Amino acid sequence: MTLDAKIPSGPIQEKWDRHRFDSKLVNPANKRKYTVIIVGTGLAGASAAASLGELGYNVMSFCIHDSPRRAHSIAAQGGINAAKNYQNDGDSIYRLFYDTVKGGDYRAREANVYRLAQVSVNIIDQCVAQGVPFAREYGGLLDNRSFGGAQVSRTFYARGQTGQQLLIGAYQSMMRQVEAGTVTIFPNREMLDLVVVDGRACGIVCRNLITGAIERYAAHAVLLATGGYGTAYYLSTNAVNSNVTAAWRCHKRGALFANPCFTQIHPTCIPLSGDHQSKLTLMSESLRNDGRVWVPTKKGDKRPPSQIPEAERDYYLERRYPSFGNLVPRDVASRAAKAVCDDGQGVGVTGFSVYLDFADAIQRLGRDVITERYGNLFDMYKRITDEDPYQVPMRIYPAVHYAMGGLWVDYNLMSNLPGLHVLGEANFSDHGANRLGASALMQGLADGYFVIPYTLGHYLASGGLAPVSTDHDAFAQAADSVQKRIDRLLQVKGKETPRQLHRRLGAVLWDEVGMGRNEAGLTRAIARIPQLREEFWQNVSVPGTPDNLNKNLEYAGRVADYLEFAELLAIDALHRTESCGGHFREESQTPEGEAKRDDEHFSYVAAWEFSGVDQPPVLHQEPLEFEYCKPSQRSYK
Amino acid sequence: MATLWRAVSSSVGTKVVIALSGLALFAYLILHLIGNLFIFLGPAALNGWGHTLISNPLVVPAEIGLLLIFLIHVYKAALNWWDNRHARPTSYAEKKWAHHTSRKNVGSTTMIWTGALILLFVAIHVSAFKYGAFYEPPAWEPGVRDLYGLVVHTFLNPLWAGFYVACLVLAGVHLRHGIASSFQSLGADGPRFTPAIMLIGYLLAVVIAAGFAFIPVWVYFRLG
Amino acid sequence: MEKMTIHLRVWRQAGPNAPGRLVPYTVENVIPDMSFLEMLDVLNEELIAKGEDPVAFDSDCREGICGTCGLVINGIPHGPDRGATVCQLHMRRYKHGDTITIEPWRARAFPLIKDLVVDRSAFDRLIQASGYTSINVGGAPDANAVLIPKDKAERSMDAAACIGCGACVAACKNASAILFVSAKVAHLGMLPQGQVEHKHRVVKMIDRMDDLGFGSCSNEGECEAVCPKEIKLANIAYLNRSYLTARFFGGL
């Protein structure tokens, strides 16, 4: 299989314009004759549903939630980047493009990233017109802030709820189309299979989560916008229902999975408090602007922080990275925290957390300033931990946050399966090996509002799309396999809950495929995951029946998919012997302990083809070329 | 016309009608209370006031208007209560007041019941006074009804006095929520003046209830 | 860390038309740092391990922003904490031996699906009735083309913070959705972009709310008191004003 990314020719600034001109158009009168399935209603899915509905396509929108507005895009706090240069501080489309490629540690496709930076400016216009209440200055203009260590202020925000507000904007636009009759919503549906006929994606099979019915839907194209796979690690900042199932089922039907080992671990999360924990809560990394990170110098020091004298504190980020200090990028900060905790210097009951101390900042700036800047975060921390960060240092620890990897797509956001398009976090395309803060929201909306309306039109107008009925054998076969799998889950009647098994898988992934990865650990994980899978199918307990709301059954199905997916994640991590972005191979580091890329051997996208459970996947490579951003080694000393 | 009907039958419109009619009834209560105060000036003053009122040719249309407002208030409130009951067919096994910023109070939770009792009271009150016994007027005031005598005679009976006081307490409870709530229904709510509206509504409810209730008490204890 | 025993009375109902009742359970080894939903997870883990049907309840983000979770805990939607959802409630609020009653949202417009899960799609249908600006993708003017006073933007944001959880409906004695509707009307109405369709929006959303079987407002403010995002009752007054203006002076 050769992977053709279909990158348009010409200078990077002109590629998207040319491509739009070269793309075929669907006659306005014919648009309603095309049915498009969109799975997922986060920023990418909802924006795609709205824009395609506005164009007149017949859109069917599916989500696992009770309402499209619940998708996990809502949880994004920080903001959304756009190259508006409203602050006159030197930003430009080119600079946003450059920062994103560099931030992704040179593992993203330049043409995609440039397009993302180009349309970023339209996103803000669109959202403001929708009534997204972005923060404003007293003069009435939009406010911007610098985010995630960026040197320009290009981040637009709506308090700490930017994701929520952007999603509500997209959701409302989509509901407008529901009222207009172009979009039909199918909430409480879980996509459990992709239907492929003659090599084209032409429908999906879902379970109605309320009635348990297995339902079939046919369409001319399927758009997958189902988010990332962070929950494979059990504990993550993702929502508890976020899952890899839809993407994984597409993979099993032939869609390539690209760079699954590129996972982002966020450094400022509230640490684990015990086994009962069901998810981790992220706090904005803006906290690192004023907080100082430290651990006791002495291992296993159990004294309360106030009794540890200054001389016995190790401000390890400031020590190791004198020029960036506490503001080093996410991956560097995360790994450093893990390193000190692995050394036994960690604090808290579990020993897996580090202090983020505001005492100096409070003394220097006064409590009022700190309250103004971080009051809501301090309240959130206190609500969860019952500790007052004004009095005692916060405790933080890294947590799995975002998946840069995802299904492989070309420049048109189409996977290697014709008709299957993948949007937002579910695809692999724009963030390389590491995503910059405030870029996820930008990508989701870019894909849905400004990219897919053009590229999908081209696909549909290119012809040859004979309608497929849901009575087709392929539908029957897919529905049958879905039903069999559900029956099988119910028949095991074992002793372990899906959560227990998920937790164990998460522990393996966190230990061996987490922040620091090495050959021995990855090999152990690759051996251990199939055993867990075996245990799952021998011993899982799924009480109840399939014909009504059965959340444990849903969950068990998702865990079964994690148990297959996790193996691919580990295999990808093992094969990529370089360190880059969020993927840190301990074998590949500089003498100072920093990530060392191997551009000579790994400047490619690793796209994996499924060849059966318990069969090794097949690697396909899409070489990456950097014409505009020349790879350089990151340094934060 | 159809638009107007739609407007007043919607949930918001219904509340507006209840609020406006309620405020009109409240305004009438103030006038009524002012009239009642003539009792403290003696029989001549009260009877004279009463006579002036009923001698005015506009009194009948005014009474019809008042009755209409009253009936609209009762009808809309009862309908609203009935509809709202259906908005929650299964009730909670356990439900508590949320307190915090909530304005829920004894008055707000019993509006329909205090309202129903007030309706009953008004019927009794009108039949007892407006259509009640006609005492012979004093010789020097031919043709004037001796309202003063009727009031005194009625409230010297402890049962009547007690009944009136009880009903006026209920009216106060009704107004305690009703006055301030009307302003909210009409769209008057803002961080600066809402606390004032709440307080004034509360005080007016007390003043109205206490003002009216004072008369039976005064009659019973001072004239008895 | 100390461990607590908590007694629960949980509403169990197999389906929309099945009879429901409060079923007693006891959860041992509850840790104060657990969230309320994690305590329910523990209960469900025990039930699943025993082969019994676990208690169905909704939750997703578990950080108080998605609006998926919602339980009436000891008679108060989202429980005793102010400005917080159930998933932000922690067991340190309770003590060893406490009995906690857990019920679903109850409203005709939110029919029960199973146990503690209700169908809140009525909220989607409310938004569908004009809870948006009619702006197609592509034609938007520059984001800074219209200046918006900061205080208006802030008031809009205050209302836009609504997460659509439905606690307002659950708390209201009339199961009214008016706080939800008013939050949307105020969110968009405070902004010039939303003003264009403001009067139509107000009328359509109120008509839809009435059609969906929600009750009317009694101005008690229980909704505001339980709202996890502390949406203000003043929005309802704004809605009422807007409705009156639209109906009597707006030609609608």
Cα gap C157→C172, rounded to integer Å: 24
For the segment A303-322, the average pLDDT, to the nearest whole number, is: 94
Using 50, 70 and 90 to split pLDDT, how confident is the model at A79? very high
- Range from A478-482, B50-54, C158-162 carrying the lowest mean pLDDT: B50-54
Do A491 and A541 contact (CB within 8 A), yes or no?
no
Do A15 and A114 contact (CB within 8 A), yes or no?
yes
- Is residue B78 over pLDDT 90? yes
For the segment A162-167, the average pLDDT, to the nearest whole number, is: 97
Which tokens go with A139? Answer: 């003069």
Hey, where are the domains in chain A? 267-400, 482-619
The 10 Å Cβ neighbour count of residue A554 is: 22
- Which residue type sits at A289? N
Q: Is the Cβ of C49 closer than 8 Å to some Cβ of chain A?
A: yes
Write down all domains in chain C, each with its CATH number in brackets.
4-103 (3.10.20.30), 121-248 (1.10.1060.10)
- Which one, of B96, B99, A381, B190, lies nearest residue C82 by Cα? B99
Cα gap C115→A211, rounded to integer Å: 14
Among all residues of chain C, which has the CA nearest to that of B5? C247
Q: How far is CA B125 from the centre of its chain?
A: 12
For the segment A523-530, the average pLDDT, to the nearest whole number, is: 98
User: What's the confidence (pLDDT) of residue B192?
Assistant: 85
Q: Is A500 within 8 Å of C31 when comparing Cβ atoms?
A: no
Q: Which residues of C touch B97 (CB under 8 A)?
A: 222
Q: Is A131 within 8 Å of C133 when comparing Cβ atoms?
A: yes
Using 50, 70 and 90 to split pLDDT, how confident is the model at B140? low
In this complex, how many residue pairs, one in chain B and one in chain C, have their CB atoms less than 8 Å apart? Answer: 154
- Is residue B143 over pLDDT 80? no
The shortest CB-CB distance from C234 to any of B98, B109, B189 is to B189
Using 50, 70 and 90 to split pLDDT, how confident is the model at A150? confident
- Is residue C12 over pLDDT 70? yes
Hey, where are the domains in chain B? 12-84+104-223
Do A384 and A396 contact (CB within 8 A), yes or no?
no
Average pLDDT over chain B, rounded to whole? 93
Do B3 and C252 contact (CB within 8 A), yes or no?
yes
Do A159 and C160 contact (CB within 8 A), yes or no?
no
Q: Which residues of A touch C193 (CB under 8 A)?
A: 128-131
Q: Is the Cβ of C62 closer than 8 Å to some Cβ of chain A?
A: yes
The neighbouring-strand residues paired with C99 are C7
SS3 C77: strand
Average pLDDT over chain C, rounded to whole? 96
Best CATH choice for the domain A482-619 from the list 3.40.50.2300, 3.40.50.11810, 1.20.58.100, 3.50.50.60: 1.20.58.100
Q: Is the Cβ of C10 closer than 8 Å to some Cβ of chain B?
A: no
pLDDT in tens, A244-259: 999 999 999 999 999 9
- Is residue A435 over pLDDT 70? yes
DSSP result, A567-618: HHHHHHHHH--S-BTTB-BTTSB-TTS-B---HHHH-EEEEEE---TTSPPE
User: What's the confidence (pLDDT) of residue A273?
Assistant: 87
Q: Which residues of B touch C180 (CB under 8 A)?
A: none
Cα gap A158→A128, rounded to integer Å: 11
- Is residue B118 over pLDDT 90? yes
Q: Is the Cβ of C70 closer than 8 Å to some Cβ of chain A?
A: no
Check A154, A292, A313, A330 and give the catalytic one: A330
Cα gap A608→A615, rounded to integer Å: 12
Q: Which residues of C touch B89 (CB under 8 A)?
A: 108
Task: Quote the percentage of chain B above a pLDDT of 90.
Answer: 80
pLDDT in tens, A366-424: 999 898 888 888 988 999 999 999 999 999 999 999 999 999 999 999 999 999 999 99
Does the CA dihedral A290-A292-A293-A295 come out positive or negative? negative
pLDDT in tens, B172-185: 999 999 999 999 99
For the segment A181-210, the average pLDDT, to the nearest whole number, is: 97
Cα gap A330→A623, rounded to integer Å: 26
Same fold, A267-400 and A482-619: no
**Residues contacting B118, CB < 8 A, separation 6+:** B167, B170, B171, B174
pLDDT in tens, C64-117: 999 999 999 999 999 999 999 999 999 999 999 999 999 999 999 999 999 999
In this complex, how many residue pairs, one in chain A and one in chain C, have their CB atoms less than 8 Å apart? Answer: 223
Q: Which of residues 195-224 of C touch B (CB under 8 A)?
A: 206-207, 209-210, 213-222, 224
Q: Which residues of C touch A134 (CB under 8 A)?
A: 143, 153
Task: Quote the percentage of chain A above a pLDDT of 90.
Answer: 88
- Is residue A32 over pLDDT 80? yes
The shortest CB-CB distance from A141 to any of C38, C132, C147 is to C147
Residue A504 is among the residues annotated as catalytic for this protein? no
Q: Do chains C and A touch (3 or more CB pairs under 8 A)?
A: yes
- Is residue C1 over pLDDT 70? no
Do B132 and B150 contact (CB within 8 A), yes or no?
yes
Q: How far is CA B40 from the centre of its chain?
A: 22
For the segment A481-486, the average pLDDT, to the nearest whole number, is: 98
- pTM of the shown model: 0.96
ipTM: 0.97
Q: What CATH topology corresponds to A267-400?
A: Flavocytochrome C3; Chain A, domain 1 (3.90.700)
For the segment A450-477, the average pLDDT, to the nearest whole number, is: 95
Closest CA of chain B from C143, distance in Å: 30
Cα gap C81→C96, rounded to integer Å: 19
- Which residue type sits at B123? A
Cα gap A422→A516, rounded to integer Å: 29
- Range from A145-149, B168-172, C33-37 carrying the lowest mean pLDDT: A145-149
